[in-house]
């Protein structure tokens, strides 16, 4: 029954390990005082720990797993907690090779305790390291140890933990399994913020010294936090000391995904600010929506682009509340409907109120004031954000029904993916006056539609290139030539995807792509006084924070609280005519009403 329990427990614990093992493990964990875990050995093994510590006390001829005599439990021996589970794991195939060692910290006299330990190991010969079993289990003896001159008297599976700053070629290196010292010999750092540079250098020098003898190094009594794990990993500590092996392994294994270095810094357009905030007629309105783009996403792009962005030049800014009518946390459908119609609606609803009644959107309303309108997106055109500016449907996933609204819309221009969704509407679009083009250029038609891809567009990391910049530039040129005021919505959809996938690289590259387009739009606004540019988001995605980064190397680390949308306020920036009207903290619906107030101020219906 006990064997069955261990096997079942191991299977449960090893489920996360199977995922962990598929990642690139460029770090090693030391499970400190592992015998105090609820499930000793298997917790460390499931975390992929390379070094597993057990304190041993020789008591009445038995090797008890305990730190002091007062805490001895007769059931907790090195055999019951470690050697038996390992042997059973090897027998059942749960432990294929011993890619770990036991760090045995002797709390009683070294020679007598080792004598009993060696006798105990006779029952486990099949799993022990040796010439005939190069992948077998090694024991590294720590705590009370024999004299270094006696190290060679012990079996080949026994190694020793050397604990001194004095290192030399004369030491018995072939029997030294690692070098360990107290972290407090080097630093008083508590694992928060950053280590003092002099202390960090002292620690780094010792790590390098140990490595010069081709041996691993570990520090006990070290801070046990994410900041500490990352710092020790970057310094090259071979066995990172932790009492939380699962958490440490999960964090360190995700570092390659959570840290991103930008190697393509773009130049920032120097905005003129000549007409910024001017109380003049608004001739054009350009609404730019970074889907899922919160303050952390913007910050990550800033810190990886030489500490500058087109967006962060802007002086008029505010914060937007994003809640939906039926939920604290909005989705893109309700969020974009609020911007497009000025009304709160339920999540999943596009262009309708909570009762399902159609809401007038900005392109429809602005048509009555002589405006032309267009939408550009990196999403499919039936996606929630672009669809909210032409469709009226209670369910965002009903792509075919949503597509049927496009020929009926007041839009003069659309550019985006998802062309396969519109097969039944191609004739209706052409009858509505849309010329369906197959490339960017100087379009002369009255209405233009461009299905850039049959399905979804690739991400920047997958080779999308300058699509959004070219699409926005072509849209601006097309609408400008009409000689009438215009409204243009530009969506960068895949910042949201990066948040959902908890991908730092996707968030940074999509936001930087968006910022390049923002620079192009700011230049247009400077060249066309009376243009109002609004840059915001429908919601934040991922609950993103920035625990660390390095501005000099354009590197940032992101952490994620969620893989979904959050209810946090999102920034809004404005530039050009009446941009000062967008300062403050307000509901997402207010963006629509601010735009319409300006239109009604200067234009007659």
Enzyme catalytic residues? 332
State how far the Cα of 47 lies from the Cα of 14, in Å rounded to an integer.
Answer: 8
Q: Is 259 helix (H, G, I), strand (E, B) or coil?
A: strand
Cα R_g (the chain), whole angstroms: 32
Q: Six-digit token pair at 592?
A: 């629509």
Cα torsion 297, 302, 305, 307 to 10°: value is: -160
CB atoms within 10 A of CB 464: 18
Element (H, E) at 398: none
State how far the Cα of 355 lies from the Cα of 230, in Å rounded to an integer.
Answer: 51
DSSP letter at 34?
A: G
State how far the Cα of 243 lies from the Cα of 241, in Å rounded to an integer.
Answer: 7
DSSP letter at 370?
A: T
State how far the Cα of 121 lies from the Cα of 127, in Å rounded to an integer.
Answer: 10
**Sequence-distant contacts of 79-84: CB under 8 A, at least 24 apart:** 79/120, 79/123, 81/35, 81/40, 81/41, 81/54, 82/40, 82/41, 82/52, 82/54, 83/120, 83/121, 83/123, 83/124, 83/127, 84/6
Listed in sequence order, the residues at least 6 apart from 550 whose beta carbon sits closer than 8 Å to its beta carbon are 556
Cβ–Cβ under 8 Å, residues 406 and 385: no
Beta strands in 367-476 (DSSP E): 372-380, 413-417, 434-436, 447-451
Q: Six-digit token pair at 58?
A: 């020789």
SS3 annotation, 169-197: CCCCHHHEEEEEEEHHHCCCCCCCCCCCH
Q: Closest Cα partner for 360 from 593, 600, 578?
A: 593
């Amino acid at each position: 029954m006990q064997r069955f329990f261990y096997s079942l427990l191991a299977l449960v614990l090893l489920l996360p390990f199977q995922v962990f093992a598929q990642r690139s493990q460029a770090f090693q964990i030391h499970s400190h005082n592992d015998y105090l875990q609820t499930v000793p050995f298997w917790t460390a093994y499931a975390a992929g720990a390379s070094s597993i510590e057990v304190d041993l006390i020789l008591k009445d001829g038995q090797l008890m797993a305990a730190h002091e005599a007062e805490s001895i439990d007769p059931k907790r021996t090195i055999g019951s907690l470690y050697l038996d589970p390992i042997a059973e794991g090897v027998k059942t195939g749960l432990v294929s090779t011993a890619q770990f060692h036991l760090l045995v910290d002797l709390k009683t006299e070294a020679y007598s305790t080792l004598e009993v330990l060696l006798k105990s190991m006779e029952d486990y010969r099949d799993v022990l390291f040796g010439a005939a079993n190069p992948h077998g289990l090694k024991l590294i003896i720590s705590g009370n140890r024999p004299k270094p001159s006696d190290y060679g008297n012990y079996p080949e599976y026994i190694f020793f933990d050397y604990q001194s700053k004095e290192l030399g070629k004369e030491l018995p290196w072939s029997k030294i399994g690692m070098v360990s010292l107290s972290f407090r010999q080097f630093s008083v750092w508590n694992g928060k913020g950053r280590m003092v540079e002099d202390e960090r250098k002292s620690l780094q020098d010792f790590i390098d010294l140990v490595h010069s003898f081709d041996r691993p190094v570990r520090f006990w009594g070290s801070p046990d936090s994410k900041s500490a794990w990352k710092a020790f990993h970057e310094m090259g500590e071979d066995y990172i000391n932790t009492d939380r092996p699962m958490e440490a392994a999960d964090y360190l294994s995700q570092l390659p995904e959570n840290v991103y270095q930008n190697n393509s810094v773009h130049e920032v357009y120097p905005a003129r600010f000549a007409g910024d905030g001017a109380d003049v007629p608004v001739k054009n309105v350009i609404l730019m929506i970074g889907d899922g783009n919160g303050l952390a996403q913007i910050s990550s792009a800033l810190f990886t682009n030489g500490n500058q962005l087109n967006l962060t030049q802007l002086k008029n800014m505010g914060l937007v509340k994003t809640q939906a009518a039926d939920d604290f946390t909005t989705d893109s459908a309700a969020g974009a409907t609020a911007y497009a119609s000025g009304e709160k609606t339920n999540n999943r609803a596009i262009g309708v109120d909570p009762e399902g009644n159609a809401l007038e959107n900005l392109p429809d309303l602005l048509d009555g004031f002589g405006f032309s309108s267009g939408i550009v997106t990196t999403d499919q055109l039936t996606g929630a954000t672009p669809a909210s500016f032409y469709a009226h449907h209670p369910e965002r996933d009903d792509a075919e029904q949503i597509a049927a609204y496009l020929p009926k819309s007041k839009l003069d221009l659309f550019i985006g993916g998802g062309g396969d969704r519109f097969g039944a509407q191609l004739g209706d679009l052409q009858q509505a006056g849309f010329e369906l083009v197959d490339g960017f250029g100087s379009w002369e038609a009255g209405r233009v539609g461009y299905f850039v891809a049959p399905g979804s567009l690739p991400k920047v990391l997958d080779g999308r290139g300058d699509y959004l910049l070219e699409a926005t530039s072509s849209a601006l040129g097309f609408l400008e030539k009409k000689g009438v005021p215009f409204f243009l919505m530009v969506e960068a959809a895949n910042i949201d995807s990066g948040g959902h996938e908890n991908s730092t690289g996707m968030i940074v590259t999509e936001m930087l792509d968006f910022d390049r387009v923002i620079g192009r739009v700011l230049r247009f606004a400077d060249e066309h006084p009376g243009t109002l540019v609004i840059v915001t988001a429908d919601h934040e995605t991922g609950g993103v924070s920035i625990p660390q980064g390095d501005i000099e190397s354009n590197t940032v680390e992101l952490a994620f609280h969620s893989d979904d949308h959050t209810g946090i306020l999102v920034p809004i920036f404005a530039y050009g005519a009446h941009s000062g009207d967008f300062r403050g903290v307000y509901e997402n619906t207010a963006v629509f009403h601010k735009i319409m107030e300006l239109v009604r101020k200067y234009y007659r219906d």
